[in-house]
Chains A and B, each alone.
Chain A
Amino acid sequence: MAKPTDYPLLNEGLPRCSFPKFLIWIAVIGIVLAWGGAWMGVIFYEGLGVTALDNYFGFGLWITFDLAVIALGAGAFFTGLLRYILNIDPLKNIINLAVIIGFICYSGAMIVLALDVGQPLRSWFGFWHANVHSMLVEVMFCISCYLMVLAIEFVPIILENRQLDKIPFIHRLSHNFHVIMPLFAGIGAFLSFFHQGSLGGMYGVLFSRPFVFREGFFIWPWTFFLFVLSAVASGPVFTMLIATLIEKMTGRKLVEFRVKAMMGKIAGTMLAIYMFFKIIDTWAWAQGYLPSVGLTFSEMFHGSMYGQWLLWTEIGLCGLVPMVMLLVPSIRNTPSLLYTAAILDCIGITINRYVFTVQALAAPVMPFEDWQIYIPNQAEWAPTFLVIAYGALIISLSYRYLPVFPQEKRLNA
């Protein structure tokens, strides 16, 4: 096989496709980026009125997307926590990818947030005029800090690039980074825990919205803990799924199946804990809280768009089913079933974030109001896909130029 044109940048022993082929792939990503970028331009120029958001749905696709990717990006902090703090060694084989995905998810969320606020140039007011009572302030501080941590965690991976590593200074820097990485993993875990929780708290504190309001422990509503648990129950398998996707696309083995199954087991365990609390929470909400404000469980659902099927899918098909699949070794150790369970798990968590964001706003609170429908339009989808394309770009570049998977050489020998 001929060496690609950009061979000097590639890592030794990790063959990659030809440079033109790579460029074609980048061009595909580029088209999506251009589409999303164009819409971003329109939104910045015209205002948020071009979206399908309205005075009832101040939050829509973007917030749902943000919450979903932040939950799915939780693989980064949780894997880091397990790898560096609890010393679960096999996870070192996937930690690099977890960090990259975490970085993509958080920076992608930031891009969307910059679009989503009405006055992006003033968004730093949240720091400057911070309202300590606001869960959103907690989220803003934690996400910003955690994104910095993720960037710091990403740096040593970049520094391992063949050309960069040749520079003695960078080589030593990179080594030192590795030494202090447990510290950042610890900080990251702490920050991440809080903002995953705060995102849930954002909804749980809305005592004016019976659909999402939850009592809680001390100052934290139950959703605080449910969001943390659901994130760690889905983040690891999302990382694992992305690894598998890269494998399928490149045709190379990157992560040992044993490691993947282990991620599945970790997620399954967390999912079991989450499901336990989620079901109790839903029960208490339906039987205790709702009647206390004069509402019934069935009033929280409407038509097919906001029907109870969402809840049953979230808890049953995408909750209990993957939980069982991930916990039973024989199922978990079958690749296709592991991946199926992982996908269901991720869908379940996404549905959860969707109903908390959109259905919460669609459900009327004043008795004389009607349910409202929200369907995102192209102005919202395009930047959303831009973030996905951005993620694909980062992963493609990282995969090509950085030694992301320590096992790659051995598995493909």
Chain B
Amino acid sequence: MGIDRRDVIKFIVGGAVGSTLTPIPWKLTDDISIWTQNWPWIPTNIGGKNEYTPTVSKLCPSNSGMLLRTVSGRPVRPQGDPDSPLSGGKISSLAAAEAQMLYSPSRVRRPLRKTSDGTYKAVSWAEAEAILSEKLGNATGGVGVISGDENGSMNEVLSALAAGFGSDDCHFMPGSAQAEAVAYNQLMGGEGQPAYDFEKADYVLAIGADVLESWGPVVATRRAYADMRPHGEDPKSTWVYAGAFQTNTAAGADRFVAMRPGAQVALALGVANLLIKEGASATGLSGFASLAAQYTPEKVAEVAGVSPDALQEIAKGLASAQKPLVVVGAEGNEGGSTAAAIAGIACNMLLGSFKAVPYPRTVVQGAMGRGDMLAKDVASYVAGFKGGKAPEVLITYQANPVYALPGSIKTKEAFENVSFKVCFTTYLSETALASDLILPVPHSLEMVDDVATPYGYGKALYAVARPLVPTLVDAKHPGDFLLGLGAKLGKDLGFASYQKVLEAKARAMGANWADVSRGTVYVSDSQASTYGVRVDADAVAKAAAVVEVADLTLCPVMKLNFGTANCGIPPFNLNTIRGDELDSDYLYAHLNASTAKSKGVAQGDVVRISSAAGTVMAKVNIFEGVMDGVVAIPKNFGHTAFDEFTRGKGDNVSALFAVASEPGTQASVWTGQAVELKRA
């Protein structure tokens, strides 16, 4: 029997018609809908036992108290810890992304050594230790330290090790605490750390300090802010923000008072003047009253651009408040004026609201105290590298000076004068890429560490961050590593492990290790004596005299959701960056319409902003919350290291900072930077 073409067609047609009568097509259709839900590349849910473990954030400068949620040991995400005074159950935008940062593409996964051709080669920890021992052993030219962690005990290990090599060149990266430490500890004769008790404060004047976003332990500050403000009712406290840019703090404040960047000292003196006129006084302010008297509302208006009415209103508000508080800080929390810090402390003294807490006691033999380290001027230290004052070995710890130090220092070039740079870091930062040896630090959820009395908090406090998940990469605890290395080099620091350091630290703070190591935060009522504190009116006068009005002044803006110099921009935070803050690869510089008009630029124009130190490219965003004659530029963009989520986004505003020495206090300042702006 032959099969012809017609038979084949009949078979096919018949088969097709027949199969529609079977369940096959319907079943297939149903299956398709199931298949299309289950692609192998779409992650599926992994369940398990939930646990919520308290810890404290070392990633976020706010040191949020957190509960890390783990599912069968797998970290999912941190939430606020209701029992932590640093959290009150709440969390910052940066700490909220901390668990995801365990898997950041820019994590350093193993020790890396720079080869002669400039590339990096993976080395074992033993090799790394050998290299570092050799370099340190031969380090006749001194050992320097730059730390990016202001309140952890790692600084003790680092400074004690440096002391073993006869060096006290241990520095913090620039921050809010420094100007105040120099002011209070060096120039005013005070001991301890000025403390800010935001709780129950019924009048807060923030002079440049971004207290509701980036200044101090901001989650705790914001809890205090929120507690005094019942919803939809008249607030029980008044918050005033004086600054050149309507920051997040301005958005939350009851009153935004425009003040030129860098004019903090003038405004603080103006406030002090009116307070003194109202009859306020304090011991230790001899000579200050006559200096303040020069800062009449008219003078303040001229220098700081603050309207006389606003100044009068502020002074009245402060004078009539039960618990007033004045907080002075620099725009972007760096390069601030020491004289302004003195004037701010003086205001609080006049208001009777000045308080200080003791610096955490050191426990490692030979370690530098926090106050001493804060008094060190990292800007002039690094700038000195080019003048032959470079250390032989420079240790950077969770710090990114190559990216974040003022542009005028030209840190990258300065670093070339250091023969050996070792970088302890969790993420592959610009500084890591300028170092000879990169040593991975475990992520903050992977290692034991501590937070001792963070700057800006009202009380002495001790919290311990615990290793809650196994270390994902080939990282070693830097404390354990350095303690071991020290012992091998004959510089025994007296502790077998970093945890022992923390145990001793807890005792020194008055805390119970068993409690704090389980996540309880220890808070102490101990205060530092403020007896004998006095104001050097002469120094303040000299500094205040040079505050000038530039044609265009820079106002750097820091927001925690932009990330930090150490961790770059966390992938989870990118969504929070608004379309008028970053445009794909261009940063936005914010100007008000009248300033833009005077510069001949319009919305979206690409402009070149330059200072004596460097140049930044940006697009113009017209924002009326910027003072006349001011350009506001966000920080933490323009990275050249890290990963695709961070790199190449915008430009680095630090390039514009030109370091100057403040008359009277001799401190390095780079606030109130004059800049030029031209269409590119």
Contact = CB atoms under 8 A, between A and B. Distances in A.
Interface of A: 119, 121-122, 124-125
Contacts of A121: 32-33, 35-36
A119 to B, nearest CB: 6
What 8 A-B pairs come out closest when comparing CB atoms? A121-B32, A121-B36, A122-B33, A119-B36, A122-B36, A124-B29, A121-B33, A125-B33
Given A119-B36, A125-B33, 8 more contacts: A121-B32, A121-B33, A121-B35, A121-B36, A122-B32, A122-B33, A122-B36, A124-B29
10 contacts: A119-B36, A121-B32, A121-B33, A121-B35, A121-B36, A122-B32, A122-B33, A122-B36, A124-B29, A125-B33
Nearest to A370: B579
A125 B36 CA distance: 13
A122 B34 CA distance: 9
Nearest to B35: A121
B678 to A, nearest CB: 28
A124 B32 CA distance: 11
Interface residues of B, number: 5
A184 to B, nearest CB: 22
Nearest to B29: A124
A125 B33 CA distance: 9
A122 B36 CA distance: 8
B578 to A, nearest CB: 13
Contacts, number: 10
A121 B36 CA distance: 7
A124 B35 CA distance: 15
A41 B33 CA distance: 20
Contacts of B29: 124
Contacts of B33: 121-122, 125
Nearest to B36: A121
A52 to B, nearest CB: 15
Contacts of B35: 121
A181 to B, nearest CB: 24
A124 B30 CA distance: 10
A152 to B, nearest CB: 17
A44 B29 CA distance: 18
Contacts of A125: 33
A298 to B, nearest CB: 22
Nearest to A119: B36
Contacts of A119: 36
Interface in B2-36: 29, 32-33, 35-36
A255 B36 CA distance: 49
A287 to B, nearest CB: 34
A228 B69 CA distance: 57
B622 to A, nearest CB: 13
A101 to B, nearest CB: 29
Interface string B407-437: 0000000000000000000000000000000
Interface in B178-193: none
Contacts of A122: 32-33, 36
A119 B35 CA distance: 11
A122 B35 CA distance: 10
B243 to A, nearest CB: 24
B549 to A, nearest CB: 34
A132 to B, nearest CB: 21
A85 B149 CA distance: 86
A84 to B, nearest CB: 30
Interface in B33-84: 33, 35-36
Contacts of A124: 29
A121 B29 CA distance: 8
A320 to B, nearest CB: 39
A119 B37 CA distance: 10
Nearest to A124: B29
A368 to B, nearest CB: 13
A125 B35 CA distance: 14
B379 to A, nearest CB: 42
Interface in B84-125: none
A222 B35 CA distance: 42
Contacts of B36: 119, 121-122
A27 to B, nearest CB: 29
A358 B33 CA distance: 31
A349 B327 CA distance: 65
Interface in B581-609: none
Nearest to A125: B33
Contacts of B32: 121-122
Nearest to B33: A122
A124 B36 CA distance: 13
A169 to B, nearest CB: 13
B447 to A, nearest CB: 39
Nearest to B30: A128
B641 to A, nearest CB: 28
A89 to B, nearest CB: 38
Nearest to A120: B36
Interface in B196-240: none
A56 to B, nearest CB: 12
B564 to A, nearest CB: 30
A371 to B, nearest CB: 14
Interface in B511-562: none
A170 B455 CA distance: 93
B150 to A, nearest CB: 39
B39 to A, nearest CB: 11
A119 B29 CA distance: 13
A124 B29 CA distance: 9
A303 B339 CA distance: 52
B37 to A, nearest CB: 9
Nearest to A122: B33
A280 to B, nearest CB: 40
A122 B32 CA distance: 8
A285 B458 CA distance: 60
A411 B33 CA distance: 54
A125 B30 CA distance: 10
A122 B29 CA distance: 9
Nearest to B579: A370
A124 B33 CA distance: 9
Nearest to B32: A121
B45 to A, nearest CB: 20
B27 to A, nearest CB: 14
A365 B97 CA distance: 32
A125 B29 CA distance: 10
A125 B32 CA distance: 11
B34 to A, nearest CB: 10
Interface string B472-489: 000000000000000000
A180 to B, nearest CB: 21
B89 to A, nearest CB: 30
A121 B38 CA distance: 13
Interface in B350-364: none
A223 B579 CA distance: 36
B246 to A, nearest CB: 16
B596 to A, nearest CB: 18
A5 B616 CA distance: 71
A163 to B, nearest CB: 15
B35 to A, nearest CB: 8
